[in-house]
């Protein structure tokens, strides 16, 4: 993979439970982003965390970043069936070109 | 909802045909991107553009070509489609200062 690993590749939980997805990357970064993709659709931006930030919140989402380990995690609290989707992390590889390098994604299924 | 559009959404075409996938955005973004994504897999950048008359190849080699004659329009052309081109093609755009990319709904291409 260009990016590294995301784990787990697939996750199945019950509604109301928390879901945690992890992402590792290979190069230094300016920022790391998380996107969601519903089946057969384009990606939707969820949250961006800069390299000098360690944690960021947005609604039910919490993202952490550990640049020393080149890893990030996305936590979705109190999951809903509508959260069922694939989740991708993406980094800019410390370039200012705007280009992103995407991970392989985690497929999340939330059962009602 | 992002103001970025792709047509057609689905295309089934025979080997050897020439096709053009359309992408347009109304956000005035300078940067635009084309990604190729196989089912359940990561996104691979195949083309990007920093502005009008600026196009470059991405990290994944592709037989397709692009043009950027107008800011809002970034079409992708395959001169002679082959079954190996079967995939989903995603178009995205971003503003100069932003790092967030806005994605279109994608075109699912099947070459028979």
Which among A2, A98, A104 has CB closest to B94?
Answer: A98
Higher pLDDT: A96 or B58? It is B58
Which DSSP category does B80 fall into? S
pLDDT at B1: 57
Size of interface A-B (CB pairs under 8 A): 67
Binning pLDDT at 50, 70 and 90, where does residue B2 land?
A: low
Q: How far apart, in whole angstroms, are the C-alpha atoms of residue A77 and residue A50?
A: 22
What pLDDT digit, counting tens, does each position of A36-86 carry? 999 888 999 999 999 999 999 999 999 999 999 999 999 999 999 999 999
Q: How far apart, in whole angstroms, are the C-alpha atoms of residue B92 and residue B32?
A: 6
- Do B42 and A102 contact (CB within 8 A), yes or no? yes
Which among A2, A48, A88 has CB closest to B99?
Answer: A48
Q: What is the mean pLDDT of chain A?
A: 92
pLDDT at A41: 87
pLDDT at B60: 82
What pLDDT digit, counting tens, does each position of B43-84 carry? 999 999 999 999 999 888 788 999 999 999 999 999 999 999
Average pLDDT over residues B26-42: 93
What pLDDT digit, counting tens, does each position of B85-98 carry? 999 999 999 987 76
**Does residue A1 carry a pLDDT above 60?**
no
CB < 8 Å to B101, chain A: 43, 45, 98, 100
């Amino acid at each position: 993979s260009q990016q590294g690993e995301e784990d787990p590749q697939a996750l199945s939980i019950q509604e109301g439970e928390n879901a945690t997805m992890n992402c590792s990357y290979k190069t230094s970064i300016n920022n790391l982003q998380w996107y969601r993709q519903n089946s057969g659709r384009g990606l939707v931006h969820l949250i961006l965390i800069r390299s000098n930030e360690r944690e960021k919140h947005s609604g039910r989402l919490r993202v952490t970043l550990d640049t020393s380990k080149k890893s990030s995690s996305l936590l979705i609290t109190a999951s809903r069936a509508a959260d069922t989707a694939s989740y991708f992390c993406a980094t800019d590889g410390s370039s200012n070109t705007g280009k992103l390098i995407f991970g392989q994604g985690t497929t999340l299924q939330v059962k009602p | 909802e992002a103001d970025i559009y792709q047509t057609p959404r689905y295309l089934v075409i025979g080997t050897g045909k020439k096709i053009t996938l359309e992408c347009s955005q109304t956000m005035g973004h300078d940067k635009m991107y084309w990604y190729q994504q196989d089912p359940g897999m990561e996104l691979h950048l195949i083309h990007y553009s920093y502005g009008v008359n600026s196009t470059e190849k991405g990290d994944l080699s592709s037989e397709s070509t692009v043009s950027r004659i107008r800011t809002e329009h970034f079409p992708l052309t395959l001169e002679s489609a082959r079954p190996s081109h079967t995939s989903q093609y995603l178009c995205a755009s971003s503003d100069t200062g932003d790092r967030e990319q806005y994605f279109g709904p994608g075109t699912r291409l099947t070459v028979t």
